Amino acid sequence: MPPTTEVSANQKSAYQRPYKTRSQRREIARRKYGENHDHKFLTRLALVVGTLLLVGVGIALKSWSEPDATRSPVTKVLR
């Protein structure tokens, strides 16, 4: 009869995660959020500022391109 080998329970080959404290988990989550979402915020901010600038320049160009007849007439003051 061939010899049988027994594997003891404390020699597991499965990976065990290292224990992390609550503060370590919070720090990791804080770094993960900060790194991934900063560029999204800055991109949105740039889009909003760019849109406002385009609207302002468009209004300015439209007001400059209108003929002088639409402006209020200048009245002379008699003395």
pLDDT digits (tens, 9 = 90+) for 22-56: 999 999 888 877 666 677 888 999 999 999 999 99
Name the residue with tokens 């439209």.
62
pTM: 0.43
pLDDT value of position 55: 97
- In the chain, DSSP finds a helix count (H) and a strand count (E) of 1, 0
pLDDT value of position 21: 92
- Could you read off the pLDDT of 7-21 as tens digits, one per residue? 565 666 777 778 889
pLDDT value of position 6: 65
Residues 6+ apart with CB under 8 A from 28: 20
